[in-house]
Structure formats: structure tokens, C-alpha cells
Amino acid sequence: MMMTTSKAEQPDTLGFAIEQIRKDFPILQQTIHGHPLAYLDSAASSQRPRVVIDAIRNYYEHDHANVHRGVHTLSHRATEAYEGAREKIRSFINAASTREIIFTRGTTDAINLVATSFGTRLSDGDEIIISHLEHHSNIVPWQMLCARTGAVLKVIPIDAQGEILFDEFTALLGPRTRLVAIAHVSNALGTVTPVDKFIAAARERDVPVLLDGAQAVPHQSVDVAALGCDFYAFSGHKMFGPTGIGVLYGREEWLEKLPPYQGGGDMILSVSFSGTTYNELPYKFEAGTPNIAGAIGLGVAVDYLLDVGMHEICRYEAKLLDYATNAISAVDGIRLFGTAAKKASVISFNLDNIHPHDLGTVLDHQGVAIRTGHHCAMPVMEYFGIAGTARASLAVYNNEQDIDQLVSGLNLAIKMFR
């Protein structure tokens, strides 16, 4: 029997069928050091539902061949599945056309693609605007670009809540601004940036905007048409898909104008030593045999997210984040980092006199997996004058028990170290 209702419609916790969801993720059915695994590190990498794992195995067992090349049956099947995944992703983020969906290795690769290809348009004194909140992957490619071209990197400051200062942003927008690149959701603090107004302000000046959506896509529905951004980058592995696959959405008019990122097979129409004609979109940006299984797995991850329902995910995670924030805040000597008005998925904190790494080791012994350190966002840590934090990050498969286990682990650490 096919289920006709969405998975989320059989409520049990916080109005959500969490037990059913948890069963979909085989990796969660284990104990670590004798405790049930409480996986609270999904901002680093999420886990995969059975359907994604099965899809990848099924593809390799039955359908694998190279795409866009052979005339044989398997090549046809592989191409259909790969392009089918592209269409799923197009629809998922509401892009106008699959020509705007480029498969990459991940968010980092997608941003590097833009920095490289868009970067050819820049010259000495042009300006790129990023924010103080960014992950290193939305800082370093721009620094490298600036070093190549003589362009200047401008950084929008943040406030003590971990929000990007909009007024400072508009003050930075100027005649030489060529691109704005900011996080939709901060990986280190969980801040949801009110990107609409940033995009509107940039568009008034015809400045294109790239959003780093790695931490947004698994937690809220993203509509690139409604957002009006020019580029949107995200990773498969943070949204229940495989590692090594990601997506760059690019507005078609931009992608048409930009030169290819890498050269090789699949991105060409014809090659001779007198010159090469590049392939049409999106293939112009996909040199070499792509991560076919990864793309297919990502397509199934999208199906899974839609099956649970993005609206339901967003609503459930907001309740769980509230529960977690309250529970963690009540722990003795806790300091939270990132208290933005709107947050998603992430709670970053430190405990008085206990180093995050020691905390991470003690929590691991309680079966609790969190991230400790600078979260690839050293400037954010620098802003708060700390070396790192402990970060618990949520996904739709987490429940209140995971949070309770975390809190009892924190209390144990306090007993040990103070």
C-alpha cells in the first residue's frame, strides 16, 4: 500500500511522527559507548535515509554507465536518472529551467565555480561584499579572487546576536560593487539572514547576489525565483544526500555570459586544435564524468524531504530548537553564541571553564555527537573573542530525547571538570 498522507501526519512528538522518521535512518539505530546515538552534528554532515542508500546501490547494481555518451541501454538509463535528478532539484528550489542547475562537488565547489568564472569579469579596484558570518568556503575563494584580480573584499559586520548588519551593508554597496555573497543560514550560529532585503538592496544597484544555502536547504523551503538571487549554492550531504555532490543554481542570463569553470569532456560541443566550442547549459559547467550516483542519490533525498514535507520539517525543527535552547540555557555556566531573532537548527555554546574539545570527548562517551571547534568560521569566533564553541545542530530526525541526553552529558562534564 502506498501511503497517501505525508509521513509527518501521524503525530507523536511535538505534533510530528518522529519515530517513523527515525526508523528511516539506519545509522541512528545503534549505540555508542553503550548509549543510544544522539546525532547532533547534522550541520557538519547529515545522515542518509534508507531510500537514498538503496537508490545508490540500486543504481550501481542495475543502471550504471557513463552519461550523455553511449547509445546502449545502460547509458540511456544512467542519463535518464541523472537528468531526472536535475529536474527534481530544479523543481525543489523552483528554478526556471534545468539549464540553471549545475551539479558540483558541493557548496565549496559551487562557490569556487562562481569565484573563478564570474571572477574573469573583475578588475583592479572592483569590490566583492561578504559578511563576517561566513563559512571559510564563502571567504577564501573571494580572497583568492581578489589576489588574482586586484579586487577588494568588503566585509559586512555582525552584531552580538550574530546578525549581519543591514545598514552597514547598504553603506558598503557602491559603484564598484560587483557581487554580494552571503550565507542564507549561518553554520556556526544558526542565524537565518533576512536575505530578501539584502537582495532587494543589491538589485536596486544591479549587483548580483550569491547565497550560500548549505545550511538552509535541509531546514526550510527555498524558492530561488521568489528570492530573486542570482546564484544559490548548496551541498547534498547536509540534506540527507551523498557526499561529493552539490548544486549551483545560477540565473540563466549569468551562466550564459560566464566562461566555463573547468575544461574537459562533456562540457564541449566540438574540439579541434584550432578551437573548441563549449556545450550548452548546464553542461558547459560540468567537465568530465560527473558524480552520477551522487546526483541520483541527491534526487532521492529531495523526494524524501518532500515526502516528509518542508513545511512540516520547518515547523517541527523550530519547536525542537526552542526545546533545545531552553534546556541548554538552563545548564549551569552556559553561554550561548548566536541569539538572532530568527534561527535554524544550530545551538552554539560554551560551558564555563570547560574546553569544547573536552566536552566533545565526554559527550561522545554518552553517545552524543556534537561538533567542537571553530566550525570553519574563524572570523565569527574571533568576533566573540573565543577559540571555538561546542555546537549542537539538529535535523528532522532528532527528538527531545537526543536533547535530554545532551543536557545530561553537559551536567556530567560539569561534575567532572569543575
Partner 1 sequence: MMSGEQQLQNLYRNTVLDHSRNPHNFRRLEPADRTVQGHNPLCGDKITVYLRLNVNDITDIAFEGTGCAIAMTSASIMTEIISGKSLQAANEEVDRIMSQFHGPAAHQQDAAELASNMGEMAALSGVRAYPSRIKCATLAWKTLKAALRGDSSPVTTELNGEQHDRV
Nearer to partner 1, 104 or 366 (CB): 366
376 as an active site residue: the answer is: yes
Residues 6 or more apart from 57 whose CB is under 8 A from it? none
Q: Minimal CA–CA distance to 293: which of 23, 6, 135, 58? A: 58
Least distance in Å: CB of 87 to partner 1? 39
Give the helix/strand (H/E) hosting 294: helix 292-308
Contact call for residue 411 and partner 1 (CB under 8 A): no
Q: Which cell goes with 43?
A: 550541520
Nearer to partner 1, 106 or 356 (CB): 356
Separation between Cα atoms, residue 158 and residue 178, nearest integer Å = 21
Among residue numbers 11 through 40, which ones bind partner 1 (CB under 8 A)?
Answer: 33-34
Least distance in Å: CB of 340 to partner 1? 22
Structural contact between residues 16 and 308, judged by C-beta atoms closer than 8 angstroms: no
Residue from the set 227, 381, 407, 410 that interacts with partner 1 by CB under 8 A: 381
Least distance in Å: CB of 357 to partner 1? 4
Least distance in Å: CB of 179 to partner 1? 28
In the stretch 340-379, what mask flags binding to partner 1 with x, by CB under 8 A? -------------x-xxxx--xx--x------xxx---x-
Q: How many CB atoms lie within 10 A of CB 215?
A: 29
Q: Minimal CA–CA distance to 52: which of 224, 218, 276, 261? A: 218
The helix/strand count (H/E) of the chain reads as 14, 17
Residue in the structure block whose three cell numbers are 577559540: 387
Structural contact between residues 164 and 131, judged by C-beta atoms closer than 8 angstroms: yes
Separation between Cα atoms, residue 328 and residue 410, nearest integer Å = 9
Residue from the set 166, 254, 323, 417 that interacts with partner 1 by CB under 8 A: 417
Nearer to partner 1, 204 or 352 (CB): 352
Residues 6 or more apart from 120 whose CB is under 8 A from it? 258, 259
Least distance in Å: CB of 49 to partner 1? 27
Nearer to partner 1, 177 or 393 (CB): 393
Nearer to partner 1, 325 or 372 (CB): 372
Nearer to partner 1, 64 or 365 (CB): 365
Exposure string (b/e) for 240-264, b if CB count within 10 Å is 16 or more? bbbbbbbbbbbbeebbeebebbeee
Cβ-based burial of 32 (10 A; exposed 0-12, middle 13-18, buried ≥19): middle
Structural contact between residues 243 and 222, judged by C-beta atoms closer than 8 angstroms: no
Count of residues of this chain found to bind partner 1 when the rule CB under 8 A is applied: 20
Nearer to partner 1, 48 or 375 (CB): 375
Residues 6 or more apart from 402 whose CB is under 8 A from it? 38, 39, 40, 368
Cα within 13 Å of Cα(342), Cβ side: 12
Least distance in Å: CB of 365 to partner 1? 5
Exposure string (b/e) for 397-418, b if CB count within 10 Å is 16 or more? bbbeebbebbbebbeebbeeee
Nearer to partner 1, 57 or 357 (CB): 357
Among residue numbers 143 through 182, which ones bind partner 1 (CB under 8 A)?
Answer: none
Residue from the set 387, 400, 404, 408 that interacts with partner 1 by CB under 8 A: 387
Among residue numbers 33 through 72, which ones bind partner 1 (CB under 8 A)?
Answer: 33-34
Least distance in Å: CB of 35 to partner 1? 9
Least distance in Å: CB of 335 to partner 1? 15
Q: Residues with catalytic annotation?
A: 376
Give me the residues that bind partner 1 (CB under 8 A), please. 33-34, 353, 355-358, 361-362, 365, 372-374, 378, 381, 386-388, 416-417
